[in-house]
Structure 1
Amino acid sequence: MDNKSFNLVTNPWIKVIENQSNHERTVSLVELFRNSQSYRQLAGEMRSQDLAVLRLLLAILTTVYTRFDANGKLYPWLEMGTKGLTVDQEMYDDDGQHDLLATWKSLYQTGHFSEVVTQYLEKYQERFNFFGGQPFYQVTTEDYDALVPESKRVAAGKGQVSVKQINRRVSESAHTPAIFASKSGKAKDELQLDELVRWVIAYQNFTGVTDKTKVVTAEKFSNPAGWLYRINPVFVKGASLFETLMLNLVLINTRKSDAEYVFQKPVWEYATVHDYVERRKKQILPDNLAELYTAWSRVLHIEWHDNGQPTIFSAGIPMFAADSALIEPMTTWRRDKKTNEYRPAIKSLQTLGIAMWRNFGQYVKVKQADDIHEPGLVIWLRKLKKAHLIARNAPLILNSVALISDGNATSQSPAAELIDDMQLQADVLFDPETADYWPTRIEGVIEQTQAVGKDYYHFVSDIGTIRNLEIRPFASAMSAKFYDRLNEPFKEWLAGLTGKDDRDAKINLWKDQLKEITNEAVADVMKSPSPRDIKGISGEKGPLNIFIAKNRLMHNLRKHLDLEKG
């Protein structure tokens, strides 16, 4: 396999959907960047895999367009010398952010990426070869053996991770069979080369902690989970892949208006693998997005056999902490009550059924006085809107794609994939703060809606009591169905809001719809009542039957929706 070559720059490996034909195509990096406006979206095996690939693409674009403008010219505040790029910080302070936004505007208006991206890829083409001297997202035998303990070297055959474990549609370890996997038997370990490339990228982002081999360090460390496993991913979806890439292309620091210029350094720009691993041993949080987007969780080495099948060796490397890692733009945040630091508000199996809209206040600051950190992407979109680079009525679709672990501290194997979205117009999401500030009004509506959700939970708990059922499982299942009824109508209501709306009129429309949905849910529960339902039981607060339970719910519904006030 020494002479084998598969270069991500020129060989097709990225799955996309074409706009016009709706057909799936597999394209190279050069094809993708030249024709991204012709593709609707990425179309890999899982949406979480697509997110990992998206971040790789953004790492390339961020690196290129923070060095070169839309015409391929080096920015005037940068200079290329014998030791590489240097920056005139004073000149950057005066013109840098203006120049970067001008580049973004030019690209967005042109509708496609410029040839400078291809030129960059050609320059680093050898680093994108899946085989060869410095294989893409992997290391050679010599490098692997130099990084791990002697007993774990390749010749010892230890520290292997199977293809069926890297494939996150299977995620089968050597000790725990994946019974309901998408493949069975030997097929679990069989992948085409282009699919293996996609899974290697995804695995670096969504790694569990079942493997034991680690690189040698002075201090002990625990093998970390992949970075995307440790955040609550959120990104913006556009009408085409080009628009998706552009809307997520953060070219300036969203947290500081006076930030210094930061050189982007994706993993392939490190001189050697050892240089990269040495930096990672220090657990230094990246100061640039390209490095963050391409962060490894494992040192991988692939041995190729004569039959074309791979044996994959994996060794953990120390990961930087997620605490106060506010450089990450694609996550929501929560403040840790013990440390007072901000941490990504990750999803778990316990929060699997909670839709994005119910956590609206995590995505956009409802009140300026609120002590929350908005996702960096939301701040970026606000900056684009303020600079009139996106239209007031532009539909902004916030997407969430989370691969959720089983919660087991010793495995963190994938248990579920959560996909959700929330669409609002730009002038709604970034409404000027007034008495009728849309985000505040929306948050109020959500609070009322969830109050009704609690009322409904108490109602079905009463029904469970009357029917002598296990109350908590019954009520939880019925509550989940109730929110399933609410999700699509509420998302449609959100998407239909505009900055010119009469707020009260729009809110009353939702209240009417919420009342109607609640009545439908109640009717389903009360359908075909049994004699016990009608006769009722003696409860702690007196007699209780389905009609009394319904009357309590209707009373609370009127109270929480202020229906008596009209």
Structure 2
Amino acid sequence: MEKPTFNLTTDPWIKVTECHTNAPRTVSLIELFEHAQDYRQLAGDMRTQDLAVMRVLLAILTTVYSRYDGNGQPYRGIDKDPVHQRKLDVDPEAYEDALLKTWEQVFKMGHFSANVVQYLHQFADRFDLFGAHPFYQVTTEDYDAVVAENKRVALGKGTVAIKQLNRRVSESNNTPAIFASRADMEKNQLTLAELARWLITYQNFAGTTDKTKVETADKFSSSMGWLYKLNSVYADGQTVFETLMLNLVLINEKHKYAPQHPVWECDDMQAYVDRREMQRRPDNVADLYTNWARLLHIEWDEQQQPTIFSAALPGFESDNVFIEPMTIWRRDKKTEDDIPATRSSFTMSRAMWRNFGSYVGITPTAGDDLRQPGLVWWLNLLKSRKILAASRRLSLASVTFVGGGAPANLPMIEYHDDIQIMAGVIFDAHTDDYWPVYIDKVITMTQKIGTDFYSFAMSVGTLRRMDPKPFAAKLSDQFYGRLNEPFKDWLVSLTATADRDQSVLDWKLTARQIALAAAKDVMNHSSPRDISGVVGEYGLENIFTLMSMFQGKVKRDLKLQEEGIKQDES
């Protein structure tokens, strides 16, 4: 009987959208890298899945272009056998120049060089779902060697169902997902192409439901997938080629370089587990992008249906992991460490633009600058070296799962948002007219209007004898929903040479118009009680007095008096 095979280098499994037809298509790794310029975007089952798959693609590119230039020639100081090289013997300055030249060369070519496909041919056996080195899995022997005796494969324990692996279902055997995207009989069914995509996604977004762990000297708690811990940021291009290139961070902000080693280059799984037991942080991007949360082994039946065994691996501390370029950061006030920011159910409706300072790395009101995401630092470097034009429009996006909390930490909701801004604006020179500071002040002012509207809604809820907090929270979400698109349109309209004060005034007038329209919508649903009002601490309060106070706050907080703008009372 012929052995089964599904090789990700040659078999189609990555879903994309074609540029010229907008038609969906499924391609192999080799097809994707040969024709990335012909595909508009990754188009998998979820945006979180696309991000996880993109990081695998970036791990391949980072590995190749950190060893060889665009002509396939090795850099000076790169070993003849780079797979087993453990330390780079390079001059950092010369190496950085070479990496930038390679990036610029490939970007100008508009397509990836042949040595990317050559690399895939070299490691083709590591990209097969079956075989001696199954992709993103370990063999029975390797699995049994690191788990407890009563958890070994032959005993059939410690499995994870496909319906839990599939994040469009995320159903455990104990709690059914009532509103799942698949009927019960289909929840545990996946094609091999789907399985490949979900294997990658699961390693990045694993919860903490697993009961089986690898055996270690010290006890440890099951860790979530690394990408699950991040409030991610990445760049979107016009094509898959552009997207991958913009996110291909070849230079580390700390100027520390280690050989790139994705997980599939590991020959000794026991050594990999030992390193994970010591909770060593990855020292290279390719390792980080392909970091496993779980040790997985798949048993196949005669119909090629999988049974998936899963054992949790120890995680590593997330503070100061600056090798990670795709996250925004927050400062721990106690330790002064920088920790990847996360998104919770309480911030699900908070648009990216409201955290603009976190993406740029400024907090002027606090006095201390936040750490820039590594990706934003990299794009700034490309712009400063004149490799990216100041007039280029950058699209920064964020996607993540919001979990249900301990103990399971199962993904509940997928969050996605983006902002678009000119490179010359986001990377403006640090002068008195520094654009990012202007923008951050505008956002602070806009959110002050949001606070004014929330206060207005609270007063209306009290007037109507309702529980004011949920009433105000609902109206506040709707108010920011009105603001989101206009603010994003304003942001993308800015140019490096634009008159700062006039641009800010334009937004103030737009914000006032939106705020007053939102309040008038509340007025339009007034009841007789709203009109007659009640006697409050400061006299009669009705919908008209509340509206008048809100109008005054808007004018005050937008500082329109200073602009000489008359208040529209109509």
Task: Classify the secondary structure of the residue corresponding to 1:171.
Answer: coil
* Matches of 2:331 and 2:373, distance apart in 1: 13
Q: Does 2:211 match 1:215?
A: no
Task: Select 2:313's aligned residue among 305, 317, 332.
Answer: 317
Q: Deviations over 1:400-428 (max 9, x none)?
A: 00111012x11001110000001110000
How far residue 84 of structure 1 moved from its aligned partner, in angstroms, is 4.4
* Matches of 2:27 and 2:403, distance apart in 1: 31
User: Partner of 2:280 in structure 1?
Assistant: 284
Root-mean-square deviation (CA, aligned residues, Å) is: 1.4
How far residue 31 of structure 1 moved from its aligned partner, in angstroms, is 0.5
Change in CA separation of 1:83 and 1:432 when aligned onto 2, cut-off 3 Å: closer
Change in CA separation of 1:337 and 1:269 when aligned onto 2, cut-off 3 Å: same
Task: Classify the secondary structure of the residue corresponding to 1:66.
Answer: helix
TM-score, scaled relative to structure 1: 0.97
* Matches of 2:303 and 2:284, distance apart in 1: 41
User: Partner of 1:421 in structure 2?
Assistant: 418
Task: Select 2:437's aligned residue among 436, 440, 449.
Answer: 440
1:109-508 equivalences under 5 Å are 109-254=108-253, 256=254, 259-366=255-362, 370-407=368-405, 409-508=406-505
Question: Sequence identity of aligned pairs in percent?
Answer: 52
* Matches of 2:474 and 2:127, distance apart in 1: 48
Q: Does 2:550 match 1:548?
A: no
How far residue 147 of structure 1 moved from its aligned partner, in angstroms, is 1.2
Q: Deviations over 1:223-275 (max 9, x none)?
A: 11000111111100011100000000011112x2xx34310010011112212
How far residue 109 of structure 1 moved from its aligned partner, in angstroms, is 0.4
* Matches of 1:404 and 1:364, distance apart in 2: 23
User: Partner of 2:5 in structure 1?
Assistant: 5
Q: Tell whether the 8 Å contact from 2:246 to 2:379 is kept in structure 1 after alignment.
A: yes
Q: Deviations over 1:446-474 (max 9, x none)?
A: 01100000000000111101111110000
Q: Tell whether the 8 Å contact from 2:363 to 2:370 is kept in structure 1 after alignment.
A: no
Q: Which moved more, 1:54-63 or 1:318-327?
A: 318-327
The alignment covers a number of residue pairs equal to: 561
How far residue 2 of structure 1 moved from its aligned partner, in angstroms, is 7.4
Change in CA separation of 1:83 and 1:551 when aligned onto 2, cut-off 3 Å: closer
Q: Deviations over 1:487-516 (max 9, x none)?
A: 000001001100010001111111111111
The residue type equivalent to 1:498 in the other structure is: T
* Matches of 1:138 and 1:458, distance apart in 2: 54
How far residue 93 of structure 1 moved from its aligned partner, in angstroms, is 2.8
Task: Classify the secondary structure of the residue corresponding to 1:80.
Answer: coil
Change in CA separation of 1:94 and 1:524 when aligned onto 2, cut-off 3 Å: closer
Task: Classify the secondary structure of the residue corresponding to 1:15.
Answer: strand
* Matches of 2:116 and 2:501, distance apart in 1: 48
* Matches of 2:92 and 2:325, distance apart in 1: 22
Q: Tell whether the 8 Å contact from 1:365 to 1:439 is kept in structure 2 after alignment.
A: no
Q: Deviations over 1:307-356 (max 9, x none)?
A: 32211110001011111111110000001122221111100001101101
* Matches of 1:137 and 1:250, distance apart in 2: 23
Task: Classify the secondary structure of the residue corresponding to 1:208.
Answer: coil
Q: Deviations over 1:166-200 (max 9, x none)?
A: 00000000101101110121111111110011001
TM-score, scaled relative to structure 2: 0.96
Change in CA separation of 1:274 and 1:88 when aligned onto 2, cut-off 3 Å: closer
* Matches of 1:558 and 1:94, distance apart in 2: 53
How far residue 370 of structure 1 moved from its aligned partner, in angstroms, is 2.8
Q: Tell whether the 8 Å contact from 2:88 to 2:259 is kept in structure 1 after alignment.
A: no
How far residue 80 of structure 1 moved from its aligned partner, in angstroms, is 1.0
The residue type equivalent to 2:500 in the other structure is: R
The residue type equivalent to 2:356 in the other structure is: F
* Matches of 2:82 and 2:478, distance apart in 1: 64
Task: Classify the secondary structure of the residue corresponding to 1:397.
Answer: strand
The residue type equivalent to 2:104 in the other structure is: K
* Matches of 2:227 and 2:467, distance apart in 1: 37
Task: Classify the secondary structure of the residue corresponding to 2:79.
Answer: strand
1:91-106 equivalences under 5 Å are 91-106=90-105
* Matches of 1:297 and 1:198, distance apart in 2: 15
